[in-house]
Structure 1
Amino acid sequence: MGSFGPKNSLLYKNFERHPAAVIKYGTGIYLESEDGRRILDATSGAAVACLGYDNHEVQKAVVQQLMDLPYCHPGFYKAKVAEDLADFLVESTNGYMSKAILCGSGSEAVEVAVKLAKTHFAHLSPPQLERTHFIARTGAWHGATLGALTLGDFRGRKDPFVDLIPRTASRVSACSTYRGLRKNESEEEYVRRLAQELEDEFQRVGPHKVAAFVAETVGGSASGCAMPVSGYFPAMKAICEKYGALLILDEVMCGMGRTGTLHAWEQESIIPDIQAVGKGLGAGYGTISAVLVNSKLVNSFQASGKSFAHGQTYMAHPLAAAAALRVQQVIREENLVSRVRKMGKYLEEKLKSRLLSHPYVGDIRGRGLFWAVEFVIDKKSKQPFPSSLGLNGRFHARGMKKGYEIALFNANGTYDGYAGDHFLISPPYIVSEADIDNIVDRVSRVIEDTFAELTTSAPWEKLMGTVTG
């Protein structure tokens, strides 16, 4: 028998290597580690902590709810704070969405959205039971559960489980001008081409079999803030309406103010049928996500007189709802969405002026306080670095070191699902111009020193041989 005591018992995604920083507490946009580092969180965790780490108003709301009612079974009882949050969310859409389902994680919200779409068609008279297929996009990330993996295209996370997931989804191209727009093609022509591709996929699958087209309004971690061009979503929705399918928008990462409007679709001249939100909804003060349902679908559900066969233990959890409601109230009271737009323009200006001239920075894209920096070997060909190099992980690791102390949300796969390196910068909404100057300075040093080390620690030609050879 071995001796008892601490053994690093918590299992992380890498079985052997654990996160390098043990965090004691957070203040504002900084995290304080046990070993004395003061880490500037330039990404709000995973675009979550939009109010920073010590908002006293939210903390008080959570403590009060903990004292009043920490939990009640959502199938037996109502929690007023959950109903108040749902009312807030519906009102925030000007009533276009008329019901909210309060869930736990973003993956869970996506699962609920898929089940709602299937339920909608099953409850029609006559029922359309063949509508079980979903069209998603290349380079998307919709979550880690099996149903969400069906929709997603983040290959490194999907491939190990591909034999387990349903074969109920197919993919069309994402809207990404950096890699998708052809030479001499206008954005209007690009939109028409993508719309035709979606229409062709409806025809290939069978229009009567498609339940919904699913897309991130602004691309998330896998695509690195892939941006929709003007007219893209109206064209996609028109195709969905032509064939009687639904439009599901995943705003788990890009929504709730992150891109400069509370709902990212407000900038796209469309209204989704179903919308998933999370992350910034509770800002990390509670584990919560939500699914918002268009009033037209709700009317259809009510007309059928049938129920939605879904329920989970921690739905509409009072503590999480109390946190999210106060978070959203603070965002409204302090006009933080307007601040996101203002600070976002400043962040864009500083990032582009400082980094675009770097020989290995291929693109800087985003909206609001949601930006990605993508790296390439050659700017003209947009050739990615070999995935074996682990470039994005090197950026993150260096950023966490003493002397840099900046958290960067690193990811890969922007090129083909495997190769293609980028990181996200998505600071809390409370960020100041001075904070942004600090972020850009630290990011620049991380990039410059990472490449300096790479080019001196091994022959550069050999390192690039897997791509250029």
Structure 2
Amino acid sequence: MPSETGTGAVDAACSAVLHRDLKLAPSRVVSSSGLYIEFDNGRRILDATGGAAVSCIGHGDERVIEAIAAQARTLDYCHTMFYSCPSAEDLCQQLIQSTGGQMARAVIVCSVQLKTRESITGSEAMEAAMKLCRQYFLELPTPEPSRTQFIARRESYHGTTLGALSVGGHAGRRKGYEPILMQNVSHVSPCNAYRNKPDAESVAEYVDRLAEELDAEFQRVGPQNVCAFIAETVVGAALGCVPAVEGYFKAVRAVCDRHGALLVLDEVMCGMGRTGTMHAWEQEGVVPDIQTVGKGLGGGYAPIAGVLVGHRVTRALEEGSGRFSHGHTYQAHPISCAAAAQVHRIIREEGLVDNVLDTGKYLGSLLKQRLGHHRHVGDVRGRGLFWGIEFVKDKASKTPFERELDVGMLVHQKGLDLTEDGGIMLYPGSGSVDGTLGDHILIAPPYNVTMSQIDLIVSLTVMAIEAAFRDLTGCLPNSQS
């Protein structure tokens, strides 16, 4: 039997689970409710990020739990090669309606890694989207089999499976796997105004420059060879909640249309209401050909993600082979679909996306007010209830910290240990400069968060940041905030 340490964590050497870190034992979470999670040593933590921007309606909602139980009692499993089920039909209908009919169909994926019990559904959604891109060009009345290339962006993350990791441009996450990644992918610059737009350059000029770079990459690989351009509508873990500047997605949509390629928007982390509209692309004035959704879809109550398919792509399949050549054993699992359908129903009926907009504006303004002048906070950015804070060694030059200091993780750890009874959970990230250097944290509370809870989240976040930089005082020149 696994033994336990005095911190309430399972001894990593004795655990039967292949944890992400085999040398550092993870703490064991035993219960959750609302905004809080509790460890087996009794400590209680305010979960300000919903895990990884997942728990969009908070933990332990009895309505979702009852929907799961009712579905399990009625129908526990059916194979989508042969059958459909009411919960899958219900969920997909809700998803398409949420786009105002601008998307046509949905594919639901529900896989889990057996060893770590970690959901890989977002990655699985991206894999399905990539295959769908390829099949689209084979299904056209005049097929275009030469379209095998994907263009994506540096400092992006689209998943951990090999195809998704290939289109992702995060150097740190790709490291070690480069020799076995797909070779038919290239990357262009992200739309990250804080890092890449000079002060003298206008937003319109910056957009034009990025669009010209994308067009030049189409020309380099051959426009007739490109399947799709893939991008996160608001970049999540890789950059720390970076929205595009105004006009960017209209410009890249125009480049894709000019060359006949598809536009795939990854909203696994930023979608399903997280940024203040049900779909983040609604704020960009574009409609993607294919969209991935994930974390907020099931709210953490079940492993689930999805691919929303536009009319152009759906029509090609309907008029061609009449089928999508893709599938998994647990695709559109009845219980996962029932959970997600109930989560989505709660979000819609309680007007929680409007609450995201209102509380999100307050969260952003409060973070900027409390941290905007901190000497080691370079940028506070985000949209809705999806905010990132980037840390810098020098504010004027935007110089990042040395990688070995792991500042984002240090802030996260300080947040966990703010008091004897508990603290706050923040989501650390790195690589926001070049995929290796650059530290940030994410804040992504549930959609039903209150203004007073926002006050508490910001206060605890400031305390965690101050505690982290007190620890770093000895190795930083003039490090007082």
Q: Counterpart of 1:425? A: 443
Of the three residues 198, 202, 210, the one matched with 1:186 is 202
* 8 A Cα contact 1:95 1:295, kept in partner: no
Q: Please, what is the CA RMSD of the aligned residues?
A: 1.3
Amino acid at match of 1:406: I
Shift of 1:183: 2.6
Q: Secondary structure at the match of 1:160?
A: coil
Q: Counterpart of 1:467? A: none
Of the three residues 321, 344, 351, the one matched with 2:337 is 321
Amino acid at match of 2:459: D
Q: How does 1:190-201 map to 2 (within 5 A)?
A: 190-201=206-217
Q: Distance in 2 between matches of 1:154 and 1:16?
A: 24
Q: Counterpart of 2:61? A: 55
Q: Counterpart of 2:79? A: 73
* 8 A Cα contact 1:272 1:294, kept in partner: yes
Q: Counterpart of 2:431? A: 413
Q: Distance in 1 between matches of 2:2 and 2:233?
A: 47
CA deviations over 1:35-82 (Å, ceiling 9, x no partner):
121100000110000111111111110110011111111112211110
Of the three residues 353, 362, 384, the one matched with 1:346 is 362
Amino acid at match of 1:268: E
Q: Counterpart of 1:466? A: none
How many residue pairs match? The answer is 457
Amino acid at match of 2:266: D
Shift of 1:10: 1.1
Of the three residues 455, 462, 467, the one matched with 1:444 is 462
Q: How does 1:11-410 map to 2 (within 5 A)?
A: 11-19=18-26, 21-104=27-110, 105-401=121-417, 403=419, 405-410=423-428
CA deviations over 1:122-166 (Å, ceiling 9, x no partner):
111321111010110111000000000111122222111111111
Amino acid at match of 1:78: S
Q: Give the TM-score taking structure 1 as reference length.
A: 0.96
Q: Distance in 2 between matches of 1:260 and 1:93?
A: 14
Shift of 1:402: 5.1
Q: Give the TM-score taking structure 2 as reference length.
A: 0.93
Shift of 1:266: 0.5
Q: Distance in 2 between matches of 1:454 and 1:194?
A: 37
Q: 1:38 to 1:304 in 2, by over 3 A?
A: same
Q: Distance in 2 between matches of 1:16 and 1:33?
A: 20
* 8 A Cα contact 2:158 2:266, kept in partner: yes
Q: Distance in 2 between matches of 1:61 and 1:297?
A: 33
Q: Secondary structure at the match of 2:308?
A: strand
Q: Distance in 1 between matches of 2:476 and 2:396?
A: 19
Shift of 1:18: 2.0
Between stretches 297-306 and 325-334, larger displacement belongs to 297-306
Q: Distance in 1 between matches of 2:89 and 2:308?
A: 13
Q: Distance in 1 between matches of 2:258 and 2:99?
A: 24
Q: Distance in 2 between matches of 1:346 and 1:361?
A: 19
Between stretches 97-106 and 305-314, larger displacement belongs to 305-314
Q: Distance in 2 between matches of 1:270 and 1:459?
A: 47
Q: Distance in 2 between matches of 1:168 and 1:356?
A: 41
Amino acid at match of 2:172: G
* 8 A Cα contact 1:37 1:402, kept in partner: no
Q: Distance in 2 between matches of 1:419 and 1:459?
A: 17
Q: Distance in 2 between matches of 1:298 and 1:287?
A: 25
- Tell me the percent identity: 48
* 8 A Cα contact 1:392 1:422, kept in partner: yes
Between stretches 97-106 and 306-315, larger displacement belongs to 306-315
Between stretches 199-208 and 71-80, larger displacement belongs to 71-80
* Stretches of structure 1 lacking an aligned partner (at least 5 in a row): 464-469
Q: Distance in 2 between matches of 1:304 and 1:139?
A: 36
* 8 A Cα contact 1:123 1:306, kept in partner: no
Q: 1:229 to 1:360 in 2, by over 3 A?
A: same
